[in-house]
Amino acid sequence: MTAFVNQLPIGLSIGAVLLLVALGLTFTFGQMGVINMAHGEFIMAGAYTAFLIGDLVLALPAAFLVAGAMGLVLERAAVRHFYGRPLDTLLLTWGVSLVLQQLARDLFGAPNVQVPAPSWLAGGVGILPYNRLFIMALAVAGVVAVWLYLNRTALGRRTQAVVQNRRLAATSGIDTGRVDMLTFFVGSGLAGVAGVALTLIGPVGPGLGTYYIVDAFLVVVAGGLGQLRGAVLAAAGLGLLNSYAEFWSDASLAKVIVFAVIIAFLQVRPQGMFVLRSRVLT
């Protein structure tokens, strides 16, 4: 029973990391239908930004801007020519991700680097270290910020309008091209923030992003496309599932169990937890 209780915060903190990574994806994948395989490398870029700056608090906005700018360039230079062809975007952005990984290897070297955690994050409560708590707080803050952005600002409402009906939004005078740019900027910037958070729990290397990207995409699939509350619930659910599956079986079986649970879940809710209702048929 104590083991069961101990596993709970571990699962939630895994979920918080997943949520931070998936938040950006709910923008680019969920809202725009773009499968950005380079999202993982934006995470890596955020982590290296933290490594260069060396200060956690300064690194958060800096990483947001760096990764966001990279996303903006990617959207303008390449992705915007591929709207409506999601599978082609996937391959294109994978090419970008390969180039970025090699670039990181050339710039920072292949071995992992360590970002020293600030002293005020040393220690913890019970079995939960402060850095894990900080990541959870960051995830919560991220969700609140994204919710406020989408629902309380004019730009966010325009974003939602474009998601729900691109043509109608364009006819109503919304510059959909600019909305796409902005959405990509915010989504990629959030990846940068996630990257900073990841420096608190492990070393930084060129392959950092690839480690999280598959699970993060699963969060979006299970949560429902472009659904914030879906992403929150799915990230928490997957985090807990991961930690309990590892606890009851072993680490190597856990991923298979998680995969089976997701397939089973899709039998009940094929489009994820929450679905954006629309009358559009393919």
Partner 1 sequence: MRDLIRRNLPFAAVAVVALVAAPLLLEPFRLGLLAKYLCYAIVALGIGLAWGKGGMLTLGQGVFFGLGGYAMAMYLKLTEAGPGGLPDFMVWSGVEELPALWAPFASPVLALGMAVLGPMALAVVLGTLVFRQRVRGAYFAILTQALAAALVILLVGQQGLTGGTNGMTNFFELFGRDLAEDSTQRGLYLVTAGVLGVLYLATRQLVNSRFGRLLVAVRDGEDRVRFLGYDPALVKTVTFAISAGMAGLAGALFVPVVGIISPALLGVVPSLELVVAVAVGGRHALAGAVLGAVVMGYAKTAFSEQFADGWLYLQGALFILVMTLAPKGIAGLLGRVRRARTA
Contact residues for partner 1, defined by CB under 8 A: 29, 33, 35, 78, 81-82, 86-88, 90-92, 94-99, 101-102, 105-106, 210, 214-215, 217-218, 221, 250-256, 258-259, 262-263, 266-267, 270, 281-282
Q: How far is the CB of 97 from partner 1 (least distance, A)?
A: 8
What is the C-alpha to C-alpha distance for residues 116 and 128, in angstroms, rounded to an integer? 19
In the Cβ-directed half-sphere of 223, how many Cα atoms lie within 13 Å?
30
Q: How far is the CB of 135 from partner 1 (least distance, A)?
A: 22
- Residue 97 or 227: which CB sits closer to partner 1? 97
Q: How far is the CB of 231 from partner 1 (least distance, A)?
A: 14
Q: How far is the CB of 190 from partner 1 (least distance, A)?
A: 19
- Residue 82 or 130: which CB sits closer to partner 1? 82
Q: Give me 126's structure tokens.
A: 């019970």
Strand-pair partners of 129:
124
CB of 217 closer than 8 Å to CB of 25: yes
Pairs from 273-281 (Cβ < 8 Å, separation ≥ 24): 273/222, 273/223, 273/224, 273/227, 273/229, 273/230, 273/233, 273/234, 274/223, 274/224, 274/227, 274/229, 274/230, 275/224, 275/225, 275/227, 276/163, 276/164, 276/224, 276/225, 276/226, 276/227, 278/164, 278/165
Amino acid at site 103: L
- Residue 149 or 211: which CB sits closer to partner 1? 211
Closest alpha carbon to 75 in 154, 61, 67? 67
- Residue 50 or 231: which CB sits closer to partner 1? 231
What is the C-alpha to C-alpha distance for residues 119 and 48, in angstroms, rounded to an integer? 20
Q: How far is the CB of 101 from partner 1 (least distance, A)?
A: 7
- Residue 26 or 131: which CB sits closer to partner 1? 26
CB of 266 closer than 8 Å to CB of 273: no
Q: How far is the CB of 104 from partner 1 (least distance, A)?
A: 11
Q: How far is the CB of 58 from partner 1 (least distance, A)?
A: 31
The sign of the CA dihedral 241, 247, 252, 257 is negative
Three-class SS state of 193: helix
- Residue 166 or 255: which CB sits closer to partner 1? 255
- Residue 90 or 117: which CB sits closer to partner 1? 90
- Residue 169 or 222: which CB sits closer to partner 1? 222
CB of 29 closer than 8 Å to CB of 213: no
Q: How far is the CB of 105 from partner 1 (least distance, A)?
A: 7
Three-class SS state of 113: strand
